[in-house]
Amino acid sequence: MRAYDRQDLLFQLWEVARLDEVIASEDLDREAVEGILDTADQIATDYFLPVGRQIDEEEPRFVDKRAVLPAPVKPAVDAFVQAGFIAAGFDPAHGGMGLPETVHQAAAFIFAASNVSLAGYGLLTVGAGRLIQSFGTEEQKRRYLAPMVEGRFFGTMCLSEPQAGSSLSDITTRAEPMEDGRYRISGRKMWISGGDHELSENIVHLVLAKIPGGPPGVKGISLFIVPKKREDGSSNDVTLAGLNHKMGYRATTNCALNFGDAGDCVGELLGEPHRGLGYMFQMMNEARIGVGMGATALGQAGYQSSLAYARERPQGRAPGAKDPTTAQVPIVDHADVRRLLLAQKASVEPALALALLCATLVDRERAGDASAAAVLGLLTPIAKSWPSEFCLEANKHAIQVLGGAGYTRDYPVERYYRDNRLNPIHEGTHGIQGLDLLGRKVLIDGGAGLRELSAVIRADIEAAADSELAAPLGQALERLARVTAHLAQAVQSDPERGLANATLYLDCFGHVVMGWMWLRITEAARSVAARDGDSDFLRGKHQAARYFYRRELVRTEHWAEILMDNDQSAFDMAADWF
Amino acid sequence: MRAYDRQDLLFQLWEVARLDEVIASEDLDREAVEGILDTADQIATDYFLPVGRQIDEEEPRFVDKRAVLPAPVKPAVDAFVQAGFIAAGFDPAHGGMGLPETVHQAAAFIFAASNVSLAGYGLLTVGAGRLIQSFGTEEQKRRYLAPMVEGRFFGTMCLSEPQAGSSLSDITTRAEPMEDGRYRISGRKMWISGGDHELSENIVHLVLAKIPGGPPGVKGISLFIVPKKREDGSSNDVTLAGLNHKMGYRATTNCALNFGDAGDCVGELLGEPHRGLGYMFQMMNEARIGVGMGATALGQAGYQSSLAYARERPQGRAPGAKDPTTAQVPIVDHADVRRLLLAQKASVEPALALALLCATLVDRERAGDASAAAVLGLLTPIAKSWPSEFCLEANKHAIQVLGGAGYTRDYPVERYYRDNRLNPIHEGTHGIQGLDLLGRKVLIDGGAGLRELSAVIRADIEAAADSELAAPLGQALERLARVTAHLAQAVQSDPERGLANATLYLDCFGHVVMGWMWLRITEAARSVAARDGDSDFLRGKHQAARYFYRRELVRTEHWAEILMDNDQSAFDMAADWF
């Protein structure tokens, strides 16, 4: 059994995300795209899915200052690399396959659903490599990017330090200029995913550090390329200080790294001095969309697993049909099990729609569409945070469908729940996403991004005027506009109180976006029905949308009330009152 | 550091639960009660709290058909037994200490907060022993109950079978009458907590089984005492077939047991034939309240752990105060961290109030108060389910406060989250609690329980007429009454559709009850302030109540709308549409 619904993925790609429009100008047709996804499916089925339990139970070990991974990790990652799924993320000019981001992300979804922690290495390498692709010198591209594209070198992003997690202005890692133009790096980094392993010939760390004498805070941060090994194969004085023992997501090592303990760690500046944080945000934004996709894939995997169980497991009878001599019914027949399944579907399918929409916006931005960039910027905190919160909730439901069985390692659903719990934390916590959205993104250019997004949503609503979803979505959108205007004002007059409910605003915004996704999905379903006839598959879309609107979208009314009050009940809680 | 807030526990016991009224007639004063809690605190501090990580990482092992537990389990359980915390749960007539249930539960809270999976053995033994105390013959009490009271024998409840989890009418374990009046037991039981271990001299299994020729379904279920070992120490043919590998709650073994594989398992009937399920419900109801207390204790432990971290961990600065040369602030100063902490407090404190209230109702019921029994019956599904759902959510927030650190095993919060995920599953799933509440409890005697409960709540509201909580709680209570009348009608006319939203009704009911608990807590806080003067501790109660009413109680408006529609969007989802 697959960990994802292939029929839904193809429907979402072609009918909802309209991939044909994205790839119209590319040398790629439907058959070629589906061939790529078939390859991803094959590798995921052969190498990712079967080893999930083993590589969770056998955690990475710290042995002689090295990270030692369980045996099945390397063959899986190798198969991923050899099939070109790292090269897929890079420009042909640098040896990449130049795949549209939408296709790349569809493949990423397949891998992440099949094992999210194995998929992490590719994600990080593509993200790091693209930074070098964007800002590196030709020489840096030759020495670092080329082997990353080939999948011989992997990449990391090194931001956090023990005293500076979310607060990057407080990093203290130093980069002292050397006479040859390179830098001597010293400092300690924390929470480095993929920070050590033996899966690749080398690891290219992209490290935030400060050049002495620069401005304080984030304005003094520069970005450095710091390989684990030098070109001659010798050590570059990057030491694995420890491995974190995580609740889940275990096959992606998570490391504490010391740079320059022996005073002999050498790095190269990437781009200009003091512009490191801005550069890193390119990678961060891509990683955030990737995190959202991973959370979505985990939600999907739990949904598929619990749905299969619910269809097969006989237990009990309907209320009022208690005759114990009749056969037990499959649990999917029980109302509350159906709710637990539908709640999952109602979250994971629009989350996939948003992830793929963001990928199409990346493709449009690459093709020079400036409005795509503004909308993408606004949607990025949503694409990261909403699945991290609500597809985690879906994974909670998946366990509940299985009952006691779901609480054991005999089924994967408890692992998905543990894996997914990371997603509201890394690449900017849920709270940080809220601050990014309300404190920055909606304010940029006087609210240009939101105006652009609202126009797009309104156009979809107008095109779907006869849909039962059109009116409630329109109202939700107006409500969001009012709330935004009100809070934007509050943020300007008092940033602390104005941002006190930024997380709730984030969730509220996210629910409206997911309502929009359901409109897009159901409109696509209507088109397909008109073309090919109705089907159970399409009926399910409408029913899930109805459920989402009735049970979830309405929550924005209650949230909007709290936000219009800008309720300070949490903010006014003094630290000593706890 | 303690895993619970002792000041709050004492405040809740004396000021909210009014323990002085409960123990008025007992030979027990405040000093004696607090001495008992001090003993619990000492054992919990010395034996429970320090071993949490070890006994989670070293799971019970299946060795030679025995369950082998990590080394620190036995000393901890021994200390618990030797201090009399099993005897505390039994009548003096049977060698017990006859402690009021309220004091017993307060001690249980301390142990569960300090390690819930170690606390499980005592809970199960008291529950099983009380069944023998209620329904056993003098001979059975002598042979089984007496050593259980002494803590030499432990107990279990054996209900589920591989083909019959929530559907007990489908159990197939057989009990064939023998010539000497005993029964030959054969069958397979699943999910048996404490089903095997070497912590006690013997294990007394209370087993649901069917005597051939009895009526089908639940009416043919009888209850049997089936010891692991016979009086001569020989095996009673109860075989450990396997251990479940659980996400959490690991020091409580969870077993598959085979009874009579060699045809030589002998049991004794407890009470009358065919009345087993009714008897077992005595234990189930106690266990359900115990599960709620465990969930509450885990919520409390996560809250304490994340609060301590938030007060100590410096990170970042307020929005608008970005000067990187100033010191970082403790994260409790950040609005969203304060929300994550206050959301925990707002859930775990009223959950404790409800658990203690239920314990006082047990004490009142024992003292012959019939109305206490009706209210307790109605509150039991709430006391079980609400903390299982919402204190789990609190544990999710605790992880979030710690960020990446919270996702590692270096801190206990990820373990609390894993431990707590069991609670919505065992002793009747969340969905089963909803069916119990809406399909049975609110309908009994034409709604007598709810009338009684409403009268109690209304009396509290009237006594607190000048409280800011009185009016919204009154409205919420009226809303609940309307919803209940509407759904009770729907259940009678169509049980399946009428019960389709039973889980939502359960949550809605639970929120109203928690709103009531906050009224009781804040009224107690006002009394204490009038007597002893105001304090930060008391101010925190009012602020947390405000937060709960503003953010949580209002959700009952939205839920009530769905329930008044009796929305069928999940029920109408056909199995083939997923």
Name the band, by pLDDT with cuts 50, 70 and 90, for residue B166. confident
Task: State both tokens at B463.
Answer: 């006594």
Does residue B377 register a pLDDT over 80?
yes
Q: Look-up: residue for tokens 């194969």?
A: A233
Chain B CB contacts of A244 below 8 Å = 404, 407-408, 410
Q: Which residue is catalytic, options B161, B427, B523, B552?
A: B427
B63: three-class secondary structure by DSSP? strand
Among partner residues A403, A421, A540, which is closest to B429 by beta-carbon distance? A403
**Given an 8 Å threshold on Cβ–Cβ distance, is B422 in contact with A403?**
no
**Cβ pair B550:A537 closer than 8 A:** no
Mean pLDDT value of segment B176-197: 98
Q: Which whole number is the average pLDDT over A198-222? A: 97
Mean pLDDT value of segment A546-553: 98
* pLDDT tens sequence across B435-447: 999 999 999 988 9
**Distance between CA atoms of B412 and B298, rounded to whole angstroms?**
10
Nearest-Cα residue of chain B relative to residue A572: B543
Average pLDDT, rounded, for chain B: 96
Instruction: Tell me which DSSP letter residue A153 carries.
Output: E
β pairing state of B238-243 and B174-177: unpaired
CA dihedral A568→A570→A572→A576, nearest 10 degrees, is 180
pLDDT above 80 (res A24):
no
Q: Measure CB to CB from residue A576 to each of B164, B495, B536 and give the nearest one.
A: B536
As a whole number of angstroms, the distance between CA B550 and CA B388 comes to 22
> What is the predicted pLDDT for the residue at B416?
98
In chain B, % of residues over pLDDT 70: 100
Residue B210 CB contacts under 8 Å (≥ 6 apart), including other chains? B171, B172, B173, B174, B175, B220, B221, B222
Average pLDDT over residues A415-440: 97
Quick check: B248 and B420 in contact, CB under 8 A? Answer: yes
Using DSSP, state whether B133 is helix, strand or coil.
helix
CA distance A120 to A77: 10
Would you state the structure tokens that stand for residue B434, as one six-digit string?
């909803």
**What pLDDT score was predicted for residue A370?**
87
Question: Chain B: nearest CA to A555, how far in angstroms?
Answer: 7
Residue in chain A nearest B496 by alpha carbon:
A319
Q: What is the pLDDT at residue B25?
A: 65
Q: How far is A548 from chain B (nearest CA, A)?
A: 9
Interface touch B546/A569, C-beta < 8 Å: yes
A230 CB neighbour count, 10 Å cutoff: 12
**CA–CA separation, A396 vs B98, rounded Å?**
40
Nearest to A83 by CA among A111, A57, A102: A111
Nearest Cα neighbor of A39 from A94, A104, A122, A128 is A104
For residue B369, give the nearest of B101, B97, B91 by alpha carbon.
B101
Residue A25 in this model has a pLDDT that exceeds 70: no
Q: Quickly state the pLDDT bin for B323 (edges 50, 70, 90).
A: confident
Please, which residues have CB within 8 angstroms of residue A129's CB and are 6 or more apart in sequence?
A86, A89, A90, A144, A145, A148, A149, A155, A204
B311, B570, B574: residue with CB nearest A547 = B570
pLDDT digits (tens, 9 = 90+) for A471-484: 999 999 999 999 99
User: Are A338 and B166 in contact (CB < 8 Å)?
Assistant: no
Contact B575 A330 (CB under 8 A): yes
Contact residues on chain B for A539, CB-CB shorter than 8 A: 574, 577
Tokens at B169, concatenated: 């009418």
Integer Cα distance of B208 and B230 in angstroms: 19
pLDDT single digits (tens) A29-77: 999 999 999 999 999 999 999 999 999 999 999 999 999 999 999 999 9
- What local confidence, expressed as pLDDT, does residue B128 receive? 97
Nearest by CB: B247 against A190, A343, A407: A407
What residue in A sits closest to B428 (Cα-Cα)? A403
Which pLDDT does position A238 carry in this prediction?
98
Residue A363 has pLDDT above 80, yes or no: yes
> Catalytic residue at A427?
yes
pLDDT tens string A289-311: 999 999 999 999 999 999 999 99
What pLDDT, on a 0 to 100 scale, did the predictor assign at position B26? 64
Q: How confident is the model at residue B123 (pLDDT cuts 50, 70, 90)?
A: very high
**Residues on chain A touching B499 (C-beta within 8 angstroms):** 319, 335
Q: What is the DSSP letter of A550?
A: I
Mutation target among A395, A407, A497 for the B interface, most CBs of B within 10 A: A407
Q: From the list A307, A334, A499, which residue is nearest B319 (CB)?
A: A499
Of all residues in chain B, the one with the smallest CA distance to A534 is B577
Give the whole-angstrom CA distance, residue B200 versus residue B578. 49
pLDDT at A26 over 70: no
Mean pLDDT, residues A366-377 taken together:
92
Question: Which residues in chain B are closer than 8 Å to A58, comparing Cβ atoms?
Answer: none
Instruction: Give the pLDDT confidence score for residue B331 in this predicted structure.
Output: 97
Contact flag B167-A540 (C-beta cutoff 8 Å)? no
Average pLDDT rounded to a whole number, residues A263-284: 96
- Contact criterion met (CB below 8 Å) for B350 and B514: yes
> A243 - beta bridge partners?
A255
A419, A115 Cβ separation under 8 angstroms: no
ipTM: 0.98
* Of residues A245, A231, A187, the one with CA closest to residue A67: A245
Using one digit for the tens of pLDDT, what is the confidence trace for B53-72? 999 999 999 999 999 999 99
Mean pLDDT of A323-345: 96
Task: Name which of B387, B372, B485, B509 is nearest B436 in CA terms.
Answer: B509
How distant, in Å, are the alpha carbons of A14, B124, B429 from that of A402? Answer: 33, 24, 11
| Smallest Cα distance from A302 to chain B, Å | 14
Q: What is the pLDDT of residues B251-310, one digit of tens each?
A: 999 999 999 999 999 999 999 999 999 999 988 999 999 999 999 999 999 999 999 999
